[in-house]
Structure 1
Amino acid sequence: MSLVKLTIKGISYSQTQNGAYALILSEEDGERKLPIVIGAFEAQSIAIALEKEIKPPRPLTHDLFKGFADRFDIVVKQVIIHKLMDGVFYSSIICERDKIEEIIDARTSDAIALALRFKAPIFTYKNILEKAGIFLKSTPKKKKTSKKEEEDIIGELILGEDKESVSTITEDYSKHTLKQLNEMLGQAVENEDYEKAAGIHDEISKRQK
């Protein structure tokens, strides 16, 4: 079976289902999205890994694993989402040490959190993408859906809710000044509120482009 490379599209959060997040993966050379429901801790860990400039005051579990692996010359080469059964995705972490390759079973959310930290590629099999992949709809007047529209569609498809009940892990920080945003970012990191920190950092990045 052929492998398809995936990239991370984003994370959606359900306000009505406590702790429910959807990690959205996208095929690199296509338009299909692969949604995976994950827990709150894993969502935070993935968000932190995506926001390179946010450094937690204490290492998260996945950061600890990365430090441990680095100390003992263990490298994560790639992650493969290899099975889908009863709505649950199963993944393998391909590791290497002293040119010896090992395959370790892992929860998909943990595997992706580690792949980000090791800058390792993420793959799935073509048949899994054909079975669970979705296409985001576009309106007749637009050739491409906006980010907000994509999030709404993903929320409806994955979490089974109205679009009003789904939002991304970020809030609207557009009304704050850059100085206020930097102060808020420092406070969020100090409080270990990494979801909020990731959203603030996104807004700062937009203004610096």
Structure 2
Amino acid sequence: MSLVKLTIKGISYSQTQNGAYALILNEVDGDRKLPIVIGAFEAQSIAIALEKEIKPPRPLTHDLFKSFADRFDIVVKQIIIHKLVDGVFYSSIICERDKIEEIIDARTSDAIALALRFNAPIFTYKNILDKAGIFLKANTENDNPENILDDVLSNSDAFTTEESNDSKNHYTKQSLSELHEMLETAVNNEDYEKAAKIRDEISKREA
């Protein structure tokens, strides 16, 4: 299967759905976009890496990984988004140390956050782009990145997510008491990203 190189167009924030972020990847030799819903923490980490002049006072998790890898002479060579199953992207980090190559599984958002820090190229397979890639509306191309996600969300048949089980639509089907139970479970499991999404849904209903 042939690989297709991707670049990062930007991070989009939904003006209509609170807390929804999408990483928009652009086909290098084409016009298709590959949108992936990501969490707020990953969006922040990627945004900081894109803005070279922004230096957080303490290293983020991905910065720590970069420092750790540098200390032990580990280089990230490339990132490959290699699989799409039930709306969930799967990625691999191709690393090298002492001329020995290793492949590490990773969430796509984490893999791309690291790719930025290592200046590593991002690829996907043509069949994945054929399945999940979209063409945005002509007038969207000139809009700010923040306006892209709402246009993408309106095209739900083509839109895929990194963690589809945590989508907003999933929580709207739950009762308020079920949401409180899910929130407690998420906190106990230290799944704070999921807890934040559940909390947003509870706050919206209790407002």
TM beyond 0.5 = yes
Say if 2:148 is the partner of 1:158: no
Deviation, 1:19, is: 2.9
Deviation, 1:18, is: 3.9
Change (3 A) 1:32 1:53: same
Say if 2:73 is the partner of 1:77: no
AA in 2 matched with 1:158: L
In the alignment, what sits opposite 1:103? 103
* Whole-angstrom distance in 1 between the partners of 2:79 and 2:141: 29
CA RMSD of superposed structures (Å): 1.9
Deviation, 1:159, is: 6.6
Is this contact kept in 2: 1:94–1:103, CA < 8 A? yes
In the alignment, what sits opposite 1:130? 130
What TM-score results when the alignment is normalised by the length of structure 2?
0.71
Q: Percent identity?
A: 84
Is this contact kept in 2: 1:35–1:158, CA < 8 A? no
* Whole-angstrom distance in 1 between the partners of 2:154 and 2:57: 32
Is this contact kept in 2: 1:49–1:116, CA < 8 A? yes
Deviation, 1:157, is: 2.1
- Per-residue CA shift, 1:142-196, capped at 9, x if unaligned? xx84123x754542323779xxxxxxxxxxxxxxxxxxxxxxxxxxxxxxxxxxx
In the alignment, what sits opposite 2:143? 147
Structure 2 residue ranges without an equivalent (≥5): 157-207
Moved more, 64-73 or 6-15: 6-15
Deviation, 1:95, is: 0.3
AA in 1 matched with 2:63: D
Deviation, 1:15, is: 4.6
Listed as ranges, the matches of 1:113-124 within 5 Å are 113-124=113-124
In the alignment, what sits opposite 1:173? none
* Whole-angstrom distance in 2 between the partners of 1:2 and 1:145: 27
Deviation, 1:76, is: 0.2
Is this contact kept in 2: 1:137–1:145, CA < 8 A? yes
Moved more, 94-103 or 130-139: 130-139
In the alignment, what sits opposite 1:26? 26
Is this contact kept in 2: 1:112–1:122, CA < 8 A? yes
* Whole-angstrom distance in 1 between the partners of 2:155 and 2:34: 15
Is this contact kept in 1: 2:13–2:147, CA < 8 A? no
Structure 1 residue ranges without an equivalent (≥5): 162-209
* Whole-angstrom distance in 2 between the partners of 1:76 and 1:100: 12
What TM-score results when the alignment is normalised by the length of structure 1?
0.70
Is this contact kept in 2: 1:76–1:93, CA < 8 A? yes
AA in 1 matched with 2:71: R
Deviation, 1:14, is: 2.4
Is this contact kept in 1: 2:13–2:146, CA < 8 A? no
AA in 2 matched with 1:55: K
Change (3 A) 1:68 1:159: farther
- State the SS of the aligned residue for 1:130: helix
Is this contact kept in 2: 1:22–1:158, CA < 8 A? no
Is this contact kept in 1: 2:16–2:150, CA < 8 A? no
- State the SS of the aligned residue for 1:53: coil
* Whole-angstrom distance in 2 between the partners of 1:100 and 1:2: 24
AA in 2 matched with 1:66: K
